[in-house]
Structure 1
Amino acid sequence: MTTHMTRASAPESVRVRPMTPDDSDAVAAIRVRGWRYAYRGTIPQAYLDAMDVAAEAEKQRARLAAGDGSVVNLVAEAADGTLAGWAAYGPYRDGDVRTGDGELYALYLAPERIGRGVGRALMAEVKGRCAAAGYPRVFLWVFESNARARRFYEAAGFTPDGTEEPFEVAGVQLPEVRYARTA
Protein backbone atom coordinates (compact mmCIF):
# COMPACT_ATOMS: atom_id res chain seq x y z
CA MET A 1 0.00 0.00 0.00
CA THR A 2 1.37 3.41 -0.93
CA THR A 3 0.81 6.33 1.41
CA HIS A 4 0.46 9.72 -0.22
CA MET A 5 1.86 12.56 1.89
CA THR A 6 0.93 16.13 1.15
CA ARG A 7 3.52 18.86 1.45
CA ALA A 8 1.96 19.95 4.73
CA SER A 9 2.22 16.49 6.25
CA ALA A 10 5.66 15.58 4.88
CA PRO A 11 8.16 15.42 7.73
CA GLU A 12 10.60 18.29 7.71
CA SER A 13 14.25 17.38 8.03
CA VAL A 14 15.78 19.09 11.04
CA ARG A 15 18.96 18.71 13.04
CA VAL A 16 18.46 18.89 16.81
CA ARG A 17 21.45 20.41 18.57
CA PRO A 18 22.30 22.27 21.78
CA MET A 19 21.30 25.92 21.83
CA THR A 20 24.09 28.50 21.77
CA PRO A 21 23.96 32.18 22.84
CA ASP A 22 23.90 33.08 19.12
CA ASP A 23 20.51 31.30 18.88
CA SER A 24 18.92 33.55 21.51
CA ASP A 25 17.24 35.97 19.09
CA ALA A 26 15.70 33.18 17.00
CA VAL A 27 14.61 31.21 20.08
CA ALA A 28 13.02 34.34 21.56
CA ALA A 29 11.11 34.93 18.33
CA ILE A 30 9.93 31.30 18.32
CA ARG A 31 8.79 31.56 21.95
CA VAL A 32 6.93 34.85 21.47
CA ARG A 33 5.34 33.77 18.19
CA GLY A 34 4.49 30.40 19.77
CA TRP A 35 2.73 32.05 22.72
CA ARG A 36 0.82 34.42 20.44
CA TYR A 37 -0.29 31.51 18.25
CA ALA A 38 -1.04 28.89 20.91
CA TYR A 39 -2.62 31.10 23.55
CA ARG A 40 -4.66 33.52 21.42
CA GLY A 41 -8.08 33.68 23.06
CA THR A 42 -6.76 32.11 26.28
CA ILE A 43 -4.32 34.72 27.56
CA PRO A 44 -5.32 38.40 27.42
CA GLN A 45 -4.40 39.78 23.99
CA ALA A 46 -2.81 42.87 25.54
CA TYR A 47 -0.31 40.60 27.33
CA LEU A 48 0.51 38.71 24.13
CA ASP A 49 0.87 41.94 22.16
CA ALA A 50 3.23 43.34 24.80
CA MET A 51 5.62 40.37 24.62
CA ASP A 52 8.96 41.71 23.43
CA VAL A 53 11.31 39.55 21.35
CA ALA A 54 14.40 41.63 22.18
CA ALA A 55 13.70 41.45 25.93
CA GLU A 56 13.05 37.72 25.70
CA ALA A 57 16.33 37.25 23.80
CA GLU A 58 18.21 39.04 26.58
CA LYS A 59 16.55 36.74 29.15
CA GLN A 60 17.59 33.71 27.06
CA ARG A 61 21.20 34.89 26.89
CA ALA A 62 21.26 35.63 30.63
CA ARG A 63 19.82 32.19 31.49
CA LEU A 64 22.40 30.48 29.29
CA ALA A 65 25.26 32.49 30.83
CA ALA A 66 24.11 31.92 34.41
CA GLY A 67 23.12 28.28 33.98
CA ASP A 68 24.83 25.51 35.89
CA GLY A 69 24.29 22.98 33.09
CA SER A 70 21.28 21.33 34.72
CA VAL A 71 18.87 22.95 32.25
CA VAL A 72 19.45 21.81 28.68
CA ASN A 73 18.23 23.94 25.79
CA LEU A 74 17.91 22.32 22.37
CA VAL A 75 17.04 23.81 19.00
CA ALA A 76 15.73 22.22 15.82
CA GLU A 77 17.66 23.63 12.89
CA ALA A 78 16.11 23.32 9.43
CA ALA A 79 18.13 22.43 6.34
CA ASP A 80 18.29 26.12 5.37
CA GLY A 81 19.90 27.01 8.73
CA THR A 82 16.84 28.67 10.26
CA LEU A 83 15.59 27.56 13.63
CA ALA A 84 12.24 25.78 13.54
CA GLY A 85 11.80 24.97 17.24
CA TRP A 86 13.18 25.03 20.76
CA ALA A 87 12.91 22.79 23.80
CA ALA A 88 14.28 23.01 27.33
CA TYR A 89 14.44 20.29 29.97
CA GLY A 90 16.19 19.42 33.22
CA PRO A 91 15.47 18.22 36.73
CA TYR A 92 11.86 18.29 37.91
CA ARG A 93 11.04 21.34 40.02
CA ASP A 94 8.92 20.57 43.07
CA GLY A 95 8.73 24.07 44.49
CA ASP A 96 12.33 25.06 45.16
CA VAL A 97 13.50 21.44 45.31
CA ARG A 98 14.99 19.62 42.34
CA THR A 99 14.03 15.96 42.35
CA GLY A 100 15.55 12.91 40.68
CA ASP A 101 12.93 13.07 37.92
CA GLY A 102 13.12 15.10 34.72
CA GLU A 103 10.90 17.88 33.45
CA LEU A 104 10.21 19.25 30.00
CA TYR A 105 10.10 22.97 30.74
CA ALA A 106 9.27 24.22 27.26
CA LEU A 107 8.72 23.06 23.70
CA TYR A 108 7.81 25.69 21.11
CA LEU A 109 7.78 25.70 17.34
CA ALA A 110 7.57 28.41 14.75
CA PRO A 111 3.80 28.29 14.03
CA GLU A 112 4.31 27.54 10.33
CA ARG A 113 6.34 24.44 11.32
CA ILE A 114 3.55 22.83 13.38
CA GLY A 115 2.54 19.43 12.02
CA ARG A 116 5.75 18.94 10.03
CA GLY A 117 7.66 16.67 12.42
CA VAL A 118 9.76 19.34 14.12
CA GLY A 119 8.05 18.86 17.48
CA ARG A 120 8.38 15.09 17.20
CA ALA A 121 12.12 15.44 16.48
CA LEU A 122 12.63 17.69 19.50
CA MET A 123 10.53 15.41 21.71
CA ALA A 124 12.43 12.31 20.61
CA GLU A 125 15.73 14.00 21.48
CA VAL A 126 14.44 15.17 24.86
CA LYS A 127 13.09 11.70 25.73
CA GLY A 128 16.36 10.04 24.70
CA ARG A 129 18.47 12.49 26.68
CA CYS A 130 16.24 12.19 29.76
CA ALA A 131 16.55 8.40 29.64
CA ALA A 132 20.34 8.68 29.21
CA ALA A 133 20.50 11.08 32.18
CA GLY A 134 18.81 8.42 34.33
CA TYR A 135 15.57 10.25 35.01
CA PRO A 136 13.05 7.54 35.96
CA ARG A 137 10.12 9.79 35.00
CA VAL A 138 9.64 12.96 33.00
CA PHE A 139 6.96 15.51 33.85
CA LEU A 140 5.58 18.54 32.05
CA TRP A 141 2.91 21.15 32.68
CA VAL A 142 0.42 22.27 30.04
CA PHE A 143 -2.55 24.63 30.12
CA GLU A 144 -5.68 22.55 30.55
CA SER A 145 -7.27 24.43 27.63
CA ASN A 146 -4.39 23.74 25.20
CA ALA A 147 -5.97 20.77 23.40
CA ARG A 148 -3.41 20.72 20.56
CA ALA A 149 -0.46 20.48 22.93
CA ARG A 150 -2.21 17.89 25.08
CA ARG A 151 -2.80 15.68 22.01
CA PHE A 152 0.86 16.06 21.05
CA TYR A 153 2.10 15.08 24.52
CA GLU A 154 -0.29 12.14 24.71
CA ALA A 155 0.97 10.91 21.32
CA ALA A 156 4.50 11.11 22.78
CA GLY A 157 3.53 8.77 25.62
CA PHE A 158 2.70 11.30 28.35
CA THR A 159 -0.49 10.95 30.38
CA PRO A 160 -2.15 13.34 32.83
CA ASP A 161 -1.40 12.18 36.37
CA GLY A 162 -4.27 14.04 38.07
CA THR A 163 -2.18 16.92 39.44
CA GLU A 164 -3.40 20.40 38.59
CA GLU A 165 -2.23 23.87 39.59
CA PRO A 166 -3.40 27.38 38.83
CA PHE A 167 -1.11 29.57 36.72
CA GLU A 168 -1.66 33.31 36.58
CA VAL A 169 -1.00 35.35 33.46
CA ALA A 170 -1.92 39.03 33.37
CA GLY A 171 -4.41 38.59 36.21
CA VAL A 172 -6.11 35.59 34.60
CA GLN A 173 -6.02 32.22 36.38
CA LEU A 174 -5.38 29.38 33.93
CA PRO A 175 -5.35 25.81 35.23
CA GLU A 176 -2.32 23.73 34.32
CA VAL A 177 -2.36 19.95 34.13
CA ARG A 178 0.70 17.85 34.91
CA TYR A 179 1.61 15.05 32.54
CA ALA A 180 4.10 12.24 33.21
CA ARG A 181 5.79 9.37 31.45
CA THR A 182 8.41 6.80 32.31
CA ALA A 183 11.70 7.90 30.75
Structure 2
Amino acid sequence: MSSYYSVRPATVKDARTIAELHAHTLQAVLEGLLSPEELARIQPDAARVAHWRDAVTYGEPQVLLAVDGDRPVGFVGFDRSRDPKTKPTTGEIWALYVQPGDWDQGAGLALWDAAREGLLDEECTEVTVWVPLRNERALRFFELAGFKRELKTARTTAVGTTRLEEIRLRRALD
Protein backbone atom coordinates (compact mmCIF):
# COMPACT_ATOMS: atom_id res chain seq x y z
CA MET A 1 0.00 0.00 0.00
CA SER A 2 1.24 3.47 -0.89
CA SER A 3 2.00 5.98 1.84
CA TYR A 4 1.61 8.86 -0.59
CA TYR A 5 -1.80 10.39 -1.04
CA SER A 6 -2.78 13.21 -3.31
CA VAL A 7 -5.52 15.62 -2.34
CA ARG A 8 -7.86 17.29 -4.79
CA PRO A 9 -11.05 19.34 -4.63
CA ALA A 10 -14.14 17.14 -4.50
CA THR A 11 -16.58 17.28 -7.39
CA VAL A 12 -20.32 16.67 -7.44
CA LYS A 13 -19.58 13.23 -8.90
CA ASP A 14 -17.72 12.43 -5.64
CA ALA A 15 -20.78 13.00 -3.41
CA ARG A 16 -21.75 9.32 -3.19
CA THR A 17 -18.14 8.27 -2.56
CA ILE A 18 -17.80 10.88 0.21
CA ALA A 19 -21.11 9.75 1.75
CA GLU A 20 -19.87 6.15 1.71
CA LEU A 21 -16.50 7.09 3.23
CA HIS A 22 -18.30 9.19 5.85
CA ALA A 23 -20.78 6.47 6.86
CA HIS A 24 -18.31 3.57 6.91
CA THR A 25 -15.61 5.48 8.75
CA LEU A 26 -18.12 6.89 11.23
CA GLN A 27 -19.26 3.32 11.97
CA ALA A 28 -15.65 2.29 12.67
CA VAL A 29 -14.98 5.37 14.81
CA LEU A 30 -18.15 4.93 16.88
CA GLU A 31 -17.88 1.16 17.31
CA GLY A 32 -18.05 0.48 21.02
CA LEU A 33 -19.64 3.87 21.66
CA LEU A 34 -22.97 3.14 19.95
CA SER A 35 -25.13 0.04 20.02
CA PRO A 36 -24.89 -2.31 17.00
CA GLU A 37 -28.40 -1.20 16.00
CA GLU A 38 -27.43 2.47 16.01
CA LEU A 39 -24.22 1.73 14.09
CA ALA A 40 -26.24 -0.12 11.46
CA ARG A 41 -28.41 2.99 10.97
CA ILE A 42 -25.38 5.02 9.84
CA GLN A 43 -25.65 4.51 6.09
CA PRO A 44 -24.65 6.33 2.90
CA ASP A 45 -28.34 7.00 2.29
CA ALA A 46 -29.92 9.59 0.01
CA ALA A 47 -29.87 12.27 2.72
CA ARG A 48 -26.14 11.82 3.38
CA VAL A 49 -25.38 11.87 -0.36
CA ALA A 50 -27.50 15.03 -0.77
CA HIS A 51 -25.69 16.68 2.15
CA TRP A 52 -22.27 16.13 0.56
CA ARG A 53 -23.53 17.03 -2.94
CA ASP A 54 -24.77 20.36 -1.55
CA ALA A 55 -21.50 20.92 0.34
CA VAL A 56 -19.46 20.39 -2.82
CA THR A 57 -21.84 22.47 -4.95
CA TYR A 58 -22.03 25.47 -2.60
CA GLY A 59 -18.62 25.24 -0.92
CA GLU A 60 -20.07 25.03 2.59
CA PRO A 61 -17.89 23.46 3.74
CA GLN A 62 -15.11 23.28 1.20
CA VAL A 63 -14.48 19.58 0.55
CA LEU A 64 -11.22 17.93 -0.48
CA LEU A 65 -10.75 14.26 -1.31
CA ALA A 66 -7.61 12.20 -0.62
CA VAL A 67 -6.84 9.52 -3.17
CA ASP A 68 -4.27 6.77 -3.53
CA GLY A 69 -4.00 6.60 -7.30
CA ASP A 70 -7.67 6.54 -8.29
CA ARG A 71 -8.85 5.04 -4.98
CA PRO A 72 -10.61 7.53 -2.66
CA VAL A 73 -9.42 7.03 0.91
CA GLY A 74 -10.67 10.05 2.88
CA PHE A 75 -11.98 13.58 2.85
CA VAL A 76 -11.93 16.82 4.78
CA GLY A 77 -14.57 19.53 5.02
CA PHE A 78 -13.47 22.95 6.30
CA ASP A 79 -14.67 26.53 6.34
CA ARG A 80 -15.23 29.39 8.76
CA SER A 81 -16.13 28.38 12.29
CA ARG A 82 -19.81 27.65 12.91
CA ASP A 83 -19.44 28.39 16.62
CA PRO A 84 -21.19 31.52 17.85
CA LYS A 85 -19.02 34.41 19.01
CA THR A 86 -15.89 33.32 17.15
CA LYS A 87 -13.78 35.79 15.26
CA PRO A 88 -14.34 35.92 11.48
CA THR A 89 -10.72 34.77 11.07
CA THR A 90 -11.43 31.48 12.86
CA GLY A 91 -11.71 28.45 10.61
CA GLU A 92 -13.09 25.03 11.49
CA ILE A 93 -12.44 21.49 10.40
CA TRP A 94 -16.06 20.39 9.97
CA ALA A 95 -15.14 16.79 9.13
CA LEU A 96 -11.98 14.79 8.53
CA TYR A 97 -12.42 11.08 7.84
CA VAL A 98 -10.05 8.43 6.50
CA GLN A 99 -11.22 4.88 5.89
CA PRO A 100 -9.86 2.47 8.51
CA GLY A 101 -7.63 0.53 6.10
CA ASP A 102 -5.68 3.75 5.49
CA TRP A 103 -5.31 4.87 9.10
CA ASP A 104 -1.76 5.71 10.15
CA GLN A 105 -0.54 5.84 6.55
CA GLY A 106 -0.45 9.62 5.99
CA ALA A 107 -3.85 10.32 4.40
CA GLY A 108 -5.12 12.26 7.42
CA LEU A 109 -1.98 14.38 7.47
CA ALA A 110 -2.29 15.06 3.72
CA LEU A 111 -5.91 16.17 4.25
CA TRP A 112 -5.01 18.34 7.25
CA ASP A 113 -2.16 20.00 5.32
CA ALA A 114 -4.48 20.77 2.40
CA ALA A 115 -7.21 22.12 4.70
CA ARG A 116 -4.66 24.29 6.53
CA GLU A 117 -3.52 25.76 3.21
CA GLY A 118 -7.15 26.39 2.23
CA LEU A 119 -7.88 28.13 5.53
CA LEU A 120 -4.76 30.27 5.17
CA ASP A 121 -5.94 31.21 1.66
CA GLU A 122 -9.21 32.32 3.29
CA GLU A 123 -7.14 34.52 5.64
CA CYS A 124 -7.98 32.49 8.74
CA THR A 125 -5.53 32.90 11.62
CA GLU A 126 -6.69 29.97 13.76
CA VAL A 127 -8.69 26.78 13.39
CA THR A 128 -10.90 24.66 15.63
CA VAL A 129 -12.29 21.13 15.50
CA TRP A 130 -14.86 19.29 17.65
CA VAL A 131 -13.92 15.73 18.65
CA PRO A 132 -15.75 13.18 20.83
CA LEU A 133 -13.81 12.77 24.09
CA ARG A 134 -13.85 8.99 23.73
CA ASN A 135 -12.36 9.12 20.21
CA GLU A 136 -8.76 8.71 21.33
CA ARG A 137 -7.48 8.22 17.76
CA ALA A 138 -8.87 11.58 16.58
CA LEU A 139 -7.76 13.40 19.73
CA ARG A 140 -4.23 12.04 19.31
CA PHE A 141 -4.17 12.96 15.60
CA PHE A 142 -5.22 16.57 16.19
CA GLU A 143 -2.96 16.99 19.21
CA LEU A 144 0.01 15.74 17.16
CA ALA A 145 -1.01 18.35 14.55
CA GLY A 146 -0.62 21.08 17.17
CA PHE A 147 -4.20 21.45 18.41
CA LYS A 148 -4.80 22.06 22.12
CA ARG A 149 -7.92 21.06 24.05
CA GLU A 150 -10.14 23.89 25.24
CA LEU A 151 -11.25 22.38 28.52
CA LYS A 152 -14.24 24.65 29.12
CA THR A 153 -15.86 23.82 25.77
CA ALA A 154 -17.15 20.31 26.51
CA ARG A 155 -20.64 19.73 25.15
CA THR A 156 -23.00 16.81 24.68
CA THR A 157 -24.15 15.78 21.20
CA ALA A 158 -26.82 13.22 20.40
CA VAL A 159 -25.96 10.46 17.91
CA GLY A 160 -29.14 8.45 17.59
CA THR A 161 -30.21 7.75 21.16
CA THR A 162 -26.64 7.92 22.49
CA ARG A 163 -25.19 11.09 23.91
CA LEU A 164 -21.49 11.73 23.25
CA GLU A 165 -19.31 14.26 25.02
CA GLU A 166 -17.27 16.42 22.63
CA ILE A 167 -14.50 18.92 23.20
CA ARG A 168 -13.22 21.69 20.98
CA LEU A 169 -9.55 21.84 20.08
CA ARG A 170 -7.83 24.93 18.68
CA ARG A 171 -4.54 25.90 17.10
CA ALA A 172 -3.00 28.90 15.38
CA LEU A 173 -2.52 28.76 11.63
CA ASP A 174 1.03 29.75 10.77
2:53 aligned with 1:61, yes or no?
Answer: yes
- The amino acid that maps onto 1:60 is W
| Structure 1 unaligned residues grouped into runs of 5+ | 1-6
Q: How many residues align?
A: 171
Q: Residues 64 and 132 from structure 1, CA distance in 2 versus in 1: closer, same or farther, beyond 3 angstroms?
A: closer
Q: Tell me the TM-score normalized by structure 2.
A: 0.91
Task: Provide the C-alpha distance between the structure 1 equivalents of 2:38 and 2:163, rounded to a whole number of angstroms.
Answer: 14
Alignment of 1:26-41 (within 5 A): 26-41=17-32
Q: Partners in 1 of 2:43 and 2:134 — Cα distance?
A: 24
Give the conservation status (yes or no) of the 8 Å contact 1:93–1:99. Answer: no
**Structure 2 vs 1, CA of residues 129 and 59 (structure 1 numbering), >3 Å: closer, same or farther?**
closer
- Once the two structures are overlaid, the 10-residue window that deviates more, 166-175 or 43-52, is 43-52
Q: Identity of counterpart residues, as a percentage? A: 26
Distance (Å, rounded) in 1 between the aligned partners of 2:36 and 2:124: 37
- What is the aligned counterpart of 2:118 among 126, 129, 133? 129
1:176 aligns with one of 159, 166, 174: 166
Task: Give the 3-state SS of the residue equivalent to 2:81 in structure 1.
Answer: strand
Amino acid at match of 2:53: R
Displacement of 1:44: 2.7
- Selected match of 1:157 from 127, 133, 146: 146
Tell me the TM-score normalized by structure 1: 0.86
Distance 1:49 1:70 in 2: 27
Range with greater deviation from structure 2 (38-47 or 82-91) = 38-47
Question: Is the 2:15–2:56 Cα contact (8 Å) retained in structure 1?
Answer: no
Q: Decide which structure has the larger Cα Rg and report it.
A: 1
Q: Partner amino acid for 1:172?
A: T
1:144 maps onto 2:133 in alignment: yes
Aligned equivalent of 2:15, options 6, 10, 24: 24
| Structure 2, unaligned runs of 5 or more | none
Aligned counterpart, 1:89: 78
Secondary structure (helix, strand or coil) at the match of 1:94 reads coil
The CA RMSD over aligned residues, in Å, is: 1.8
Contact 1:75 1:83 in 2 (8 A): yes
Which residue is equivalent to 1:3? Answer: none
